[in-house]
């Protein structure tokens, strides 16, 4: 009886999410989190720290009052010794703090979203058939960033940027309830895809937007979203030299979401102790190159 009730409750939640003005609500949060009025921003920051038990001792700036806005606090940097980086070209490192939503190998062109739910590489990569072929039977990991986590994204391996794709879409939440109930969620939500040439072949690092994620940024483009031009945008970087080394900062979410990594077939092995729901830290070893 309880399981039926929970199923119905989740179903009602998903219906509600379809009805919400997702982009309008996200733009509202974008504005609110950038208010610099001290009483307001300090109230938000202190409530958030207590609600999510944020460990400010790890932050480069440990004093909440010193952040000019809630967003400045949310995208805070960490102290240099806060995380243990294992820099090595034969390793794949976690690009974020968070939890493993899925980690596995691509089944033909299909990625696992949740139990009994899959989506295709082609859908995820904005319909780019040629690019999708590169990741046939490759490897993938989906990493979820909770509100309390460090929200800057780093490079799991050294790479040269060759292509980026902005894909407009929905802004469903990316929590467990949504991932388990919204079909093809990661291929439906707004996302920014970056393709790198690495020592392990091609790598895709994908930032997936979600409701209340008012903005996504990269170190080479700056703020990507929100944007008035919500259309598929592809940029080639063949004539530009944009190289990011392993552990370099890649970008950040203004509010939280999900990062998906794709690698080509027979290029790496995931560590056996990294499984679904494993908590991970940025810089942590996720996999080894196949030599």
Are 211 and 171 within 8 A, CB to CB?
Answer: yes
Q: Is 18 a catalytic residue?
A: no
Q: Is 90 a catalytic residue?
A: no
Q: Which CA distances in Å does 255 have to 46, 74, 100, 267, 273?
A: 16, 7, 18, 32, 29
Q: Is 252 a catalytic residue?
A: no
Of these residues, 23, 151, 154, 252, which one is catalytic? 154
Residue 117 CB contacts under 8 Å (≥ 6 apart), including other chains: 179, 180, 183, 184
CB neighbour burial string for 257-274, b if at least 16 within 10 angstroms, e if fewer: bbbbbbbbeebbebeeeb
How many C-beta neighbours within 10 Å does residue 160 have?
Answer: 14
Looking at the DSSP bridge assignments, the partners of residue 287 are 92, 270
Of these residues, 97, 164, 178, 215, which one is catalytic? 97
Q: Give catalytic residues, as residue numbers.
A: 97, 154, 257
């Amino acid at each position: 009886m309880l399981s039926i009730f929970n199923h119905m409750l989740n179903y009602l939640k998903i219906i509600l999410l379809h009805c919400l003005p997702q982009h309008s609500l996200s733009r509202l949060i974008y504005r609110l989190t950038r208010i610099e009025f001290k009483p307001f921003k300090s109230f938000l920051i202190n409530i958030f720290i207590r609600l999510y038990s944020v460990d400010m001792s790890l932050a480069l700036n440990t004093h909440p009052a010193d952040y000019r806005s809630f967003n400045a606090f949310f995208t805070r940097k960490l102290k240099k010794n806060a995380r243990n980086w294992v820099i090595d070209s034969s390793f794949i490192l976690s690009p974020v703090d968070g939890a493993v939503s899925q980690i596995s190998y691509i089944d033909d062109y299909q990625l696992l979203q949740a139990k009994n739910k899959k989506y295709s590489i082609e859908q995820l990569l904005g319909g780019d058939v040629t690019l999708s072929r590169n990741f046939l039977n490759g490897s993938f990991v989906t990493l979820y960033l909770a509100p309390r986590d460090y929200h800057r994204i780093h490079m799991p391996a050294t790479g040269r940027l060759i292509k980026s794709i902005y894909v407009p879409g929905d802004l469903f939440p990316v929590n467990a309830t949504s991932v388990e109930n919204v079909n093809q969620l990661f291929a439906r939500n707004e996302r920014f895809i970056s393709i790198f040439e690495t020592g392990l072949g091609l790598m895709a690092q994908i930032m997936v937007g979600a409701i209340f994620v008012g903005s996504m940024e990269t170190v080479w483009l700056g703020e990507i979203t929100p944007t008035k031009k919500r259309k598929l945008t592809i940029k080639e970087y063949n004539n530009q030299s944009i190289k990011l080394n392993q552990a370099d900062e890649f970008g950040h979410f203004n509010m939280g979401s999900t990062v998906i990594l794709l690698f080509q077939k027979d290029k790496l092995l995931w560590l056996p102790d990294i499984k679904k729901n494993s908590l991970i830290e940025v810089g942590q070893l996720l996999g080894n190159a196949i030599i």
